Amino acid sequence: EDIPTGIYTIPEISSVGKTEQQLTAMKVPYEVGRAQFKHLARAQIVGMNVGTLKILFHRETKEILGIHCFGERAAEIIHIGQAIMEQKGGGNTIEYFVNTTFNYPTMAEAYRVAALNGLNRLF
């Protein structure tokens, strides 16, 4: 069970799961997907120029291994990824974010953008 952390600074910092350093040390084949907040419609509407969501996932199984976020509301955004990471029976995959429709425009769009970014790195 992964427990999320939040640091309530400006901007906020939040994470759940493994870090790149941990995955490298464990020799886990992983890939990274990123979304910059400044490219998201909701962030542009509210003038949020600073922030990033990073998803770490297994290159072969596509299992989400870690999520790291900084920016306004990072400690709230992280729970979307945490909920998927807790899914059993193959429910925890990066493809969830590609195949799921979120309300638009919301900050949840960062997950879809990061997922597409990461999956595109595999090819």
- C-alpha 45/C-alpha 43 separation (Å) is 5
Dihedral through CA 107, CA 111, CA 112, CA 114, nearest 10? Answer: 120
- Over the chain (123 residues), the average pLDDT of each successive run of 10 is 93 98 98 98 92 98 98 95 93 96 93 98 92
Predicted confidence at residue 62, as pLDDT, reads: 97
Do 14 and 4 meet the contact criterion of CB atoms below 8 Å apart? yes
Do 55 and 81 meet the contact criterion of CB atoms below 8 Å apart? yes
**CA dihedral sign, ordered 76, 77, 81, 84:** positive
DSSP 21: H
Predicted confidence at residue 98, as pLDDT, reads: 96
Question: Encoding tokens for residue 97?
Answer: 């974010």
Residue 36 burial (CB < 10 Å; 0-12/13-18/19+)?
A: middle
Domains of the chain: 8-120 (3.30.390.30)
